[in-house]
Chains A and B, each alone.
Chain A
Amino acid sequence: MHIRETGWASRLFDVFNILLMLGVIFVTVFPFYWMTIVSFSDGNAVIRGDVGLWPVKPTLESYRLIFTDPAIPRSLMNSVLYTTLGTFISLSMTALCAYPLSRTRFCGKGVFTAIIAFTMFFSGGLIPLYLQVVRLGIRDTMWALILPFAINVWYMFIMRTAFKDIHEEIYDAAIVDGANELQIFLRIALPLAKPILATMLLFYAVEYWNDYFNALIFLDDRAKWPIQIILRNIVLLGRFEMQGELAGTSAFLAVEQTLRYATIMVSTLPILVVYPFVQRYFVKGAMIGAIKE
């Protein structure tokens, strides 16, 4: 809804506003651009501060080097596994929870909704959850990263809203046709809620991929660490476990910065690549959440 404005003050504001928004784009994109060019540049040139807006002596050396650390490919595989399995479990559990709560005929609805909503406002805190995971015997397994976080209550309520939007007549027709509740859920409700399921899938996937804290507290076994933990060790704690020629030498110092950026790029690439294609689903999720409020 725009009403044409012709006053000079208004025009000046428009110009200023466009410049400001270009600034927002720049500030958001530049760090990624910078990391990309540095990761492809020669280490010594980076140290000298020669890298401006283009890669200097472009090379794939830092990417080759980070893959000499066996932890990187291994942890990437782990992250793929946790993300796939976690997303599948979360999506199923969330739908299983949201669907009954959306049906008007389900009588325990009010009580269950209250029980679930309360967890948004009060929690036992970190330590009791930690000890519960220990007690269940799933600590130091991938289940500790998935099961305690299987349902995001916020997402569950968004999904419930989507199920609620399905017309009651559609369900009635299915019942007349002799379908049972499970069939209605699988054949009617889920297909009709596909857009929101796609959105939730992406949100859960991003969360599992990006998680570092749960892996930090629940996983001791290095072989099980996801990429985010390895990334933290390399980028923030400066712990490389590279095999071979460069370890501990001064040549290593020269490539350190390029290695950090290359590691960041490798772990972020899946998100950066997928993002342009799926971003409209992300927004849809946020919109529904906002309107629900």
Chain B
Amino acid sequence: MMLLPLAYFVLFHYMPMYGVVLAFKNFDPSKGVMGSPWAGLKYFKEFFSNRYSYQLLRNTITFRVWHLTLGFPAPIILALLLNELTSERFKRLVQTTSYLPRFISLVVVAGMVSTFLASDGLVNQIIVRLGGMARPWLMDPKWFRPIWLVQGMWQWAGWTAVIYLASLTNINPELYEAAAIDGANRTQRLRYITVPGIMPTIVIMFLLRVGQFLNVDYQMILLLYTGATYEVADILGTYIYRRGIVNAEFSFATAVGVFQSFVGLVFIIGANWLARRLGETSLW
């Protein structure tokens, strides 16, 4: 019964994992991955000696840091606010609505963003009507990251909040009753019961994100960036796509990918180790 699934994991996960040897070879399509001659660390040297690589790294890290500091708390705050609503029906309505965007395709969301922000788009029409100046939002490197951040929140905050809400329902209601009897007010209950109650979930979610440190989702960026915004928007993922798939520089792009995966592994092991030392929650 496991045969088909195992074949799947071998074919599409473990064989590609072995395929990373390509990063150390001069790929020759006629000879295949195995037959191509060794290149040693040539492609890694090429990557690390290029100044543009550091810009890519800086961009990738900046996106991740923006996400961890500004994007990550959004669903937690949303869940806490939803939890304070007294009407169950209203709460359900807000929830159902807020996670709808998670099911909308990236292309549609990117299309909405670019059309709303186009020179004659909705946002500029409103600005002009209010007496301001229309501006080419998506062409401006200064605005790319804020737009990316807001788009991400719009699409994901509602959905991720579901996970925190689920963890909120696991808090023992007796704790709240006991606290109320002891005279704890709403803020105190939030601070001493609710937040500690969902802390393990927060830690796990945070670890998962940290483990993805350099794997910033490039599919959205690929849709939104243009030559005008490469300086802030180009990241490892989009670069691998352009060099590897578009330019067919397979060995070089694999080397960049190996670097990215390796850093990812180090980060997830490190994050897990840290979590174990700090408290009781960890991924494994």
Interface residues of A (CB under 8 A from B): 1-3, 5, 7, 10, 13-14, 17-18, 20-21, 24-25, 27-29, 31, 34-35, 47, 49, 93, 96-97, 99-100, 108, 112, 115-116, 119, 121-132, 135-136, 147-151, 181-182, 185, 206, 209-213, 217, 228, 231-232, 235-236, 257, 260-261, 264, 267-268, 271, 275-276, 279, 282-283, 286-287, 289-291, 293
Contacts and interface: CB of A to CB of B under 8 A. Distances in A.
Given A286-B163, A293-B204, A151 B81 contact: no
Nearest to A147: B12
A4 to B, nearest CB: 9
12 contacts: A35-B112, A124-B18, A126-B244, A128-B18, A129-B12, A132-B11, A132-B16, A206-B103, A210-B107, A235-B110, A236-B111, A283-B95
Given A1-B173, A132-B11, A290 B103 contact: no
A174 to B, nearest CB: 16
A277 B173 CA distance: 31
Contact of A232 (B1, B22, B107, B170): B107
Interface in B137-167: 154, 158-159, 162-163, 166-167
B100 A125 contact: no
B22 A286 contact: no
Contact of A121 (B112, B244, B268): B268
Interface in B73-128: 78, 81-82, 84-86, 90, 93-101, 103-108, 110-112, 114-116, 118, 120-122, 125, 128
Contacts of B4: 93, 96
A126 B105 CA distance: 21
Given A49-B128, A97-B5, 11 more contacts: A3-B189, A108-B2, A122-B17, A124-B19, A125-B20, A132-B19, A217-B245, A232-B223, A261-B115, A268-B104, A293-B163
A121 B115 contact: no
B11 A13 contact: no
A283 B253 contact: no
B154 A17 contact: no
7 tightest A-B contacts by CB? A125-B257, A128-B19, A97-B5, A210-B105, A124-B16, A235-B111, A128-B16
A138 B33 CA distance: 17
Given A127-B257, A228-B105, A18 B90 contact: yes
Interface residues of B, number: 91
Main secondary structure on B side of the interface with A = helix
A107 B264 CA distance: 31
Contacts of B264: 121-122
A127 B111 contact: no
Contact of B84 (A14, A231, A236): A14
A286 B162 contact: yes
Contacts of A119: 9, 13-14
A115 B260 contact: no
Interface string B230-249: 00000001001100110000
A271 B103 contact: yes
B1 A99 contact: yes
B130 interface: no
A210 B111 CA distance: 13
Contacts of B22: 127-128, 131
B276 interface: no
